[in-house]
Structure 1
Amino acid sequence: MSSRDDSASEDGLRKPLLHTGSWYRMGSRQSSIMGSSAQMIRESISIFLCVFIVALGPIQFGFTCGYSNPTQSDIISDLGLTISEFSIFGSLANVGAMVGAIASGQIAEYIGRKGSLMIASIPNILGWLTISFAKDSSFLFMGRLLEGFGVGIISYTVPVYIAEISPQNLRGSLGSVNQLSVTIGIMLAYLLGMFLHWRVLAVLGILPCTLLIPGLFFIPESPRWLAKMGLNEDFETSLQVLRGFDTDISVEVNEIKRSVASSTKSSTIRFAELKRRRYWYPLMLGIGLLVLQQLSGINGVLFYSSNIFKSAGISSGKAATFGLGTIQVIATGITTSLVDKAGRRVLLIVSSSLMTASSLVVAIAFYLEDFVPEKSHFILGTLSLVSLVVLVIGFSLGLGAIPWIIMSEILPVNIKSLAGSVATLFNWLTASVITMTANLLLTWSSGGTFTIYALVSAFTVVFVRLWVPETKGRTLEEIQWSFR
């Protein structure tokens, strides 16, 4: 091991919980003589495999979010719960996620991104098993809290890991896979919930993390994290694996080393230092985008979607909800293909503009209900339904995926654990507030509620235009140097 590695270990820096493994190692990076079987193994370990494996985490995230929707009536009936008890069950995932978000940065900092995902998988599996065997509300609540804790860690770690392993020309598209996987998880929960008993559905909920755990042993640790930990040999090996063994990585290696050398090796930073522009500006952007993502009211809108479906004359709420989930997957898939071509800013502006317009149309439709004949209410309901679909498409085209991508790109390496945890915590806290207040606001005034959501979306357009930089096609080091 190099002298720098020795000094790193003296500083108390730790090796990753899940090591990259000796089978990744090369005798020399420049060596061109390899056995055919070894060559096949190494070439199969691509960045796409890494993203595919860690995407099981956000699928778990989405399945957790979607689970309570199709199971509400059956769980209430089987366990004799009240509506308020089931509401507590649904909201406890947010509470657990907030706790997980607080811990996520430090866990990912000290034991690595892969180790963090391993830790997140265990409470998820235990939570689903607890729910599947629940005899009363206490077991449901305990299982939901465990799930939420794991989801809180996943929601921070996966976008950070993907950003840190991706080449600059693919980072946006690969980063969008995080949100795409969340929508797939939600859609699967809606689809399977139409046919399966809630206990069976809970047992199926353990599958993503059960597959994720062994999958983590076949992918390398984040090279940027390894570099920060002073594990230079592992860092260069990991980066070579990710870029391909025929690729010259010397320029990227030097960039990452220079970035790490210029930042403090300490995992803590004094709050007074956050006043410096290189810290407060990216932190403000990260928190701002993740808070505005939730303040757009997307959770409140989806919460109220069944009532809009009824007003539009659609009888099967579960089928319609599944259709909405499918639209989310398709629209997010489109974002995945566009984000590295069109850019982050353009998609965020288009997304927020669509949400502003559609929220206004829904608000106007609700205001007009009191002034038009009852026979015209069906037309207004249909208009609301179409606008709701446009709103979901708009969210999926940018505001769903891109705030997580930008958060993982702009935060400097030495404050990423603290700032990333804070930004993720604010996201979950805002999501909880929106979920809890949506019903109260809609009871107060449906038109007024959607007017508020429209104003927030309009402010998001302004926020992006004035303050959010374009990060397309730039390395993480270039992005972070730009804030100095």
Structure 2
Amino acid sequence: MKLLMKLKKSIEEGSCNSALAAICAHSVSISIGICQGYSAILLPQLKESENYKDLTQDETSWIASLGTITNPIGSILSGLMAEYIGRKRAIQITALPLILGWMCFGLAQNVNWLYAGRLVTGIAAGMSPACYTYVGEISSSQNRGFMQTLGPICASLGILLTYTLGYLLHWATVAYISIGFAIFSTVVMQLVPESPSYLLKNDRQAEGFTNLLWFRGNNALAQQEIDRFYKNQKEANDRNMSLMEMYFGPQTVKPFLILVGLFALQEFSGIYTLLFYAVNFFEDSDLNFNEYIASIIVGAIRFSMSVVIAYLINIYGRKILCTASSIGMAVTMSAVAIYVKYYEIHSDQEKIFTSLPLIGIMLNVAFSMVGMLPIPWVMVGEMFPLKVRPIMSGVVVSIAQLLIFICVKIYNDMNNVLNFSGTLFVFVVSSVLSAVYCMTILTETKNKTLEEIEAHFRGSIRISDKTAELHVVKIDNKSLENKGLDNVAFNHSSEDIKNVKDRTDTVSVKVAT
């Protein structure tokens, strides 16, 4: 009965439509996941190929890292296109570099074709800001976290598909199959409306209201959001902020610095290094286990945990999940690093507990998916003010992907200089620093509207880690269920309360702390 009630409520509030649109938008992340995982199946197959068996270590590192060096180009392009031609069209255009890049792989005759394929698909892999901006704007504050985690879920699915197909098929065949996913995303995005925020920002009020009504399924909710949008716009106009103040004011600079710091710790904790070198990583670990099967298992764990985080993110805050994730990553990678270091020193001894590195890496991947891998991407779409959101999201993502390129490119060099165990200890230190950073600096955005987040960074209000909802069964002057909260400030006027009298409704409240 409760499940049916929740389903009915979701349909009435348009949550089903929003979820459908979010799935369509984030379906492009399947292709992005394929791009990210492709080098992990490509490099081992090239070693066994007659035409490419003489590739040097430097050439293989370039093949892996070139898939990230052009990511910033895609991020900036995606941000600009989302700003000037719309979020929906920016997502659809991602298919063009994907198709061109996969064709380069399928038709490859020498290593230069492989370089070209990695560079072009790298542009597409960087075009995620439009997806996160779109989903952030069509979601309500209550379900935005869940909607945004659909991106990491789809990316994890793409990675798992890549590892599995790479075990079964030739890398060129995998490239041709990947074209189908790019086309699929373009087609399904045609079925959903443009972001209402984009339309309202461009003075297309009628169309914006129609689209918002489709997403919310309720005239009152849609009108309430329209009114809040214009109230926020009026306040911004009253402040008469110049373009310089908008981009360099605290409402933009603070989230920019927080996100860049978070992404830097994410990259140097080894999350993406393991992703791009999965099969080689297990070879370096000297496992008595098929490296391809090990990578598929890790891909399956990553996908499973990405589904778990979609559930957890609406229960726990971003700070709690990222902190717990970082601590778990530090502990699990420490176990692997100590094990590897011991046998580097005592190389003459026969190894025991040979499965420990595999178990440690699997747990490390699981903990990374609890927070530190997906949540920075989730927060990109919700931290910036509307006027700068697409472009600043593109800037932050481009910096994050530049850091990924650096980490992937220097992986082999780090192993040569520090030994494999030394590289693992770098990941451990980064994870420890990440835990401290998330506890002390990261801002909580759970259940906050985009307007509240902007006001917080601007210094207009202080948002706390505590939020609540007031569930009103029958609203009158005497009957209100408070759920034991003190010092409650209603977000609704007495007129709003009067309008929902004698019907079940949910009124959001803010808890002063």
TM-score tier (shorter): 0.7 to 0.9
Equivalent position SS for 2:187:
helix
Pair 1:339-2:321 in alignment: no
Q: Are positions 1:213 and 2:178 aligned together?
A: no
Change in Cα spacing, 1:337 to 1:238, as seen in structure 2 (3 Å) is same
- The one-letter code matched in structure 1 to 2:63 is F
Aligned equivalent of 2:32? 61
Q: What SS is found at the alignment partner of 2:410?
A: helix
TM-score by length of 2: 0.80
Residues 274-327 of structure 1 show CA distances to partners (whole Å, capped at 9, x for unaligned) of 553222111111222222211212123342664546756433111111111001
List alignment gaps of at least 5 residues for structure 1: 1-39
**CA separation in 1, counterparts of 2:189 and 2:274?**
36
- Tell me, yes or no, if the aligned pair for 2:314 and 2:446 is still in contact at 8 Å: yes
Aligned equivalent of 1:125: 99
Q: Is the 8 A contact 1:287 1:422 kept in 2?
A: no
Please state whether the residue corresponding to 1:69 is helix, strand or coil. helix
User: CA separation in 2, counterparts of 1:470 and 1:278?
Assistant: 15
Q: Is the 8 A contact 2:29 2:155 kept in 1?
A: yes
The runs of at least 4 aligned residues of structure 1 exceeding 6 Å deviation read: 42-45
* CA pair 423-327 structure 1, distance change in 2 beyond 3 A: same
96, 99, 103: which one pairs with 2:77?
103
Q: 1:43 to 1:332 in 2, by over 3 A?
A: closer
Pairing 1:188–2:174 present: no
Q: Which moved more, 1:43-52 or 1:133-142?
A: 43-52
- In the alignment, what sits opposite 2:407? 434
Q: Which amino acid aligns with 1:104?
A: S
Give the Å deviation of 1:447: 2.8
Judged with a 3 Å threshold, the aligned counterparts in structure 2 of structure 1 residues 78 and 114 are, in CA distance, closer, same or farther, namely: farther
Equivalent position amino acid for 1:436 in 2: K
1:90 lines up with 2:55 in the alignment? no
The alpha-carbon distance between structure 1 residues 454 and 310, as it changes in their structure 2 partners (threshold 3 A), is: closer
User: Which has the larger displacement, 384-393 or 74-83?
Assistant: 74-83
Describe the SS at the equivalent of 1:249. helix
Secondary structure of 1:105's counterpart equals helix
| 1:237 to partner: Cα distance | 1.0
Deviations 1:446-476 (A, max 9, x none): 3322222222111111211122222111111
Match of 1:25 in 2: none
Letter in 1 for 2:188: G
Pairing 1:202–2:175 present:
yes
Residue 440 (structure 1) shift: 1.5
The change in CA–CA distance for 1:402 and 1:305 in structure 2 (over 3 A counts) is same
Flag the structure with higher helix content.
Answer: 1
- Partner letter of residue 107 of structure 1? M
Report how far residue 124 of structure 1 moved: 0.7
Q: Separation in 1 of the partners of 2:400 and 2:409?
A: 14
Partner of 1:425, secondary structure, is helix
Match of 1:152 in 2: 126
Which residue is equivalent to 2:249? 276
Q: Secondary structure at the match of 1:482?
A: helix
Who is 1:163 aligned against?
A: 136
Which residue matches 1:295? 268
With over 3 angstroms needed to count, the CA separation of the structure-2 counterparts of 1:44 and 1:462, relative to structure 1, is: closer
**1:296–1:456 contact (8 Å) kept in structure 2:** yes
Residue of structure 2 equivalent to 1:23: none
Offset of residue 191 of structure 1:
0.5
Length-normalised TM-score, structure 1: 0.85
Q: Identify if the C-alpha distance between structure 1 residues 127 and 78 changes in structure 2 by more than 3 Å, giving closer, same or farther.
A: farther
**How far does residue 239 in structure 1 lie from its aligned partner after superposition?**
0.8
Counterpart selection for 1:465 from 439, 449, 455? 439
- Greater CA deviation, 355-364 or 50-59? 355-364
Residue 469 of structure 2 is matched in structure 1 by none
Residue in 2 that maps onto 1:409: 382
TM-aligned CA distance change 1:59 to 1:264, over 3 Å: farther
Q: Which amino acid aligns with 1:47?
A: S
- 2:427 matched residue in structure 1: 453
Contact 1:362–1:388 under 8 Å retained in 2 = yes
Provide the secondary structure at the position in 2 that maps to 1:414. helix
Is 2:339 the partner of 1:365? Answer: yes
CA distance in 1, matches of 2:244, 2:412: 37
Task: Name the counterpart of 2:41.
Answer: 70
Residue deviations 1:72-97 (CA, integer Å, cap 9, x gap): 34445254361443432332221221
Paired residues of 1:128 and 1:202 also in contact (CA < 8 A): yes
Query: Compared with structure 1, are the counterparts of its residues 386 and 264 closer, same or farther at alpha carbon in structure 2 (3 Å cutoff)?
Result: farther
In 2 relative to 1, CA 79–44 (structure 1 residues): closer, same or farther, beyond 3 Å?
Answer: farther
- Quick one: distance in 2 between partners of 1:364 and 1:310? 15
Q: Percent identity?
A: 26
How much has 1:245 moved relative to structure 2?
A: 4.5
Deviation at 1:273, TM superposition (A): 5.7
Distance 1:423 1:264 in 2: 26
Deviates more, 1:70-79 or 1:218-227: 70-79
1:249-260 to structure 2, matched below 5 A, reads: 249-260=222-233
CA distances 1:238-296 after superposition (whole Å, capped 9, x unpaired) = 1110111466322211112222344469xx97556655322211111122222221121
The CA deviation at 1:219 is 0.3
Find out whether 1:176 has 2:149 as its counterpart. Answer: yes
Q: Does 1:51 align with 2:22?
A: yes
**SS of aligned partner of 2:98:** helix
Distance of 1:44 and 1:369 partners within structure 2: 54
Q: 1:234 aligns with which of 203, 207, 229?
A: 207
**Cα RMSD after superposing both structures:** 2.5
Q: 1:359 to 1:75 in 2, by over 3 A?
A: closer
Using the TM superposition, give the Cα deviation of residue 370 of structure 1 relative to its aligned residue in structure 2, in angstroms: 4.5
Deviations 1:22-49 (CA, angstroms, capped at 9, x unpaired): xxxxxxxxxxxxxxxxxx9x98981121
CA distance in 2, matches of 1:378, 1:257: 66
Q: Identify the residue that residue 221 of structure 2 maps to in structure 1.
A: 248
